Structure 1
Amino acid sequence: MLGIGNRLVQAQQASAPTHHAEDESVKAGREAEQQLVELLRKHGVPNGYVYQGLRVPDGFRTRKYEIDVVVLSEYGIYAIEVKNWSGRVAVSHDGKSWVHGKKDINKEKDVTLHYDQVHDNVLIGIQQKAQLLRNHLLRNESCLAEKYFHPRVVFMNSNVQLCDKLKSTKEVIGQEHLLKFLESFEKGLAWSVANSMIPSFITGQLSYSAIESARQGLCTIGTWDVLQLNGGRQLIGDFKSCPHISPNRDDTARLDFKHQRNATVSSVWAVLGYSPQVTVNMYKRNSTSWLVGSTLGSVNVPYNTDVTFRVAGEQVDSKIPVNDIHNITLSV
């Protein structure tokens, strides 16, 4: 057993975790995706037909590519890349890149720095992901023609200025065309009656059976795990392991980490001979609430236990102290 001095140091550390603030640009991008999803629902797209953060495998199933938003409709499947960029966006001379004009403002020095950031052609990227999505559905016996897959790049920031070439590209949705894009998903009563009476091969739209087959195929695609840190920062990636915890993903949707943050109480427990611990509550998947009765169980782990988590885009696993974790949402 550790001496009382060491336990008091641990108690102090456990009650004052590291504050992990979210990067503002990352937060804004995530909020832009959520804003688009809410607008789609507002314009009539059912909840079960909008998917976020789907990870589509490549042809050899050795790597997965994320699609920000996928929408299933009678007109086909929309694979959408959401951008929250502000400033001017233009296509490079060779068409392989997009050039994003940015500026950084240093208020303390009253200096504004203008510079160009070069990205791979975003439209080509989402077109390739849409093809991977189609291939995945074909492997799952949802055989839709290529014409039913619609890649789109949607800019959500009203301060973006697209070059003429991007403005004239139907797959690129700027602010001036966003409302029309959203309204294209709306269906009136007359349309619903007519569509139910006219065969799909005449209307050119997907049949009900084709939509259901596609929906089932989309439900087989996983998303990211989300780890929320103290301070609000979120990490997306894959939860690998944590000592003393072995959640079954089929049953477990979320892990909540409960901490003792009161320094006085922690010190009292330290004097009594106890080292700080974190209580991990495991919640059932498909439960209607996070209330009492929806838990699968609880486990106490030492506060300095590490969670192994592979952050998206990283080549090695990260070791994250449970004392810094608020919760982990597990994908299927």
Structure 2
Amino acid sequence: MGAVMNTKSSRTSRLEIWRDIVSAKREPELDEVTAGRDAEKALRSLVTDHLSWKAASIFHSKRVPRDTRAQSRGRYEIDLVVISPNQISAIEIKNWSGRLRIDGDRWVQERRNGGEIAHENPLSKNKEKLDCLCAVLESRNIRVPPARVCRVIFWNKNITVPIEVAKRDEIVMHHELDRFLTTQKATGFAERFLISVLELCLDQEASMIATDGFFKAIPSRDYSAAVETITSLETFDKIELLGGRVISGDLLEIRVGQDRLPLKTMPSGSEVKVVCNRSKVILFLLAILGSAPMISLSHPFSTISISPRDKVLFHQAGEPKPEEIEFGRISRLVRG
């Protein structure tokens, strides 16, 4: 009798797991990302962080130490890094709207509702970030491209910028990038955006060479070493949700019952898949007739027994505090 009751209890538990799995809603990518209205969110939706195009490379969301000799000082995040044998660029993407005015070293954004937001000069900040990136490369005896360029892309069409600012070579207005964007045939807005930025940088590079004369490019071995080093820098971690939506931030830990499994020890670039058959009928048969786990994780957590209600603690970029996300909603985790 006891064995029968245990089997019945087990079956009931497996049916509860089945209900939790099949009730998980699919979460497709946000409209503003797929439509390309917000470049920052679109780039954060990319799982890959590196794209090569025409003898140049572009990276997004790279984190660089503020001081190569003192890692405890923290890290900067660079929205985009573009590198070719001739130039290296740090690029900031701004989605500001309203009217911009320059007040000393402050860039003041005047909102349509009358409010004001004072920003640190993004060009000065970008120079600090680029200097830190170059210091990382030079600390590894890698020659840095001769042209070091800081750029700010004003992506929002609804921004009015002082004419003397808009005319600066380091400033890229939406319409300037748009002429490259409309000619790209890459799949997905984020990839087309990255290639467009690369094209723009290479176009400006050609203009610099034509104006100032040819400046000596770094050797191919240094360029390859620089690309390899920048590739190794951390990016945001990612969670791909069921349905395709990708969110970026910091993976903190897996929470299974009372157990806490840290995720920051995972190697950069590694991923953990949530292994689960999402077919309602097949999963029901597995619940009734089977005994194998109905939901599990891939290596290195394949031996951990989980349920759809167990969670990942994740600090999404831009949010004030971490949140718990149930495994029933997740397709995979990716370490930056």
TM-score norm. by structure 1 comes to 0.67
Deviations 1:196-232 (CA, angstroms, capped at 9, x unpaired):
xxxxxx9433321543443343233122221112344
Kindly report the root-mean-square deviation, in angstroms, between the aligned alpha carbons of the 2 structures: 4.2
Aligned to 1:81: 92
Q: CA deviation at 1:21?
A: 6.1
- The residue type paired with residue 128 of structure 1 is E
Deviations 1:244-268 (CA, angstroms, capped at 9, x unpaired):
9899855973332233444455455
Change (3 A) 1:5 1:216: closer
Aligned to 2:327: 322
How many Å separate the matches in 2 of 1:58 and 1:184? 25
- The residue type paired with residue 220 of structure 1 is S
- Choose 273-282 or 7-16, whichever is displaced more: 273-282
Question: Which runs of structure 2 are paired with 1:1-332 in the superposition (5 Å)?
Answer: 2=9, 7-18=14-25, 20=27, 28-30=38-40, 33=43, 44-46=54-56, 49-59=57-67, 60-62=70-72, 63-85=74-96, 87-99=97-109, 101=111, 114-116=113-115, 118=117, 120-121=119-120, 122-144=122-144, 148-178=147-177, 182=199, 185=202, 203-208=214-219, 209-242=221-254, 249=266, 253-271=270-288, 277-281=294-298, 301-312=306-317, 317-331=322-336
Q: CA deviation at 1:99?
A: 0.4
Is the CA contact (8 Å cut-off) linking 2:312 and 2:324 kept in structure 1?
yes
How many Å separate the matches in 2 of 1:41 and 1:214? 13
Is the CA contact (8 Å cut-off) linking 1:11 and 1:275 kept in structure 2?
no
- Choose 179-188 or 235-244, whichever is displaced more: 179-188
Aligned residues: 288
Change (3 A) 1:238 1:31: closer
Q: CA deviation at 1:31?
A: 6.3
Uncovered stretches (5+) of structure 1, i.e. residues with no partner: 103-113, 196-201, 283-295
When you count strand as a share of all residues, which structure comes out higher?
A: 1
- The residue type paired with residue 101 of structure 1 is R
Change (3 A) 1:277 1:64: farther
Secondary structure of the residue aligned to 2:128 is helix
Kindly, what percent of the aligned residue pairs are identical?
Answer: 20
Change (3 A) 1:268 1:215: closer
Change (3 A) 1:210 1:204: farther
Secondary structure of the residue aligned to 2:142 is coil
Q: CA deviation at 1:61?
A: 2.1
Change (3 A) 1:117 1:136: farther
TM-score norm. by structure 2 comes to 0.67
Secondary structure of the residue aligned to 1:327 is strand
Change (3 A) 1:130 1:326: same
How many Å separate the matches in 2 of 1:220 and 1:269? 41
Is the CA contact (8 Å cut-off) linking 1:154 and 1:172 kept in structure 2?
yes
- The residue type paired with residue 78 of structure 2 is I
Q: CA deviation at 1:279?
A: 3.4
Q: CA deviation at 1:50?
A: 1.6
Is the CA contact (8 Å cut-off) linking 1:53 and 1:67 kept in structure 2?
yes
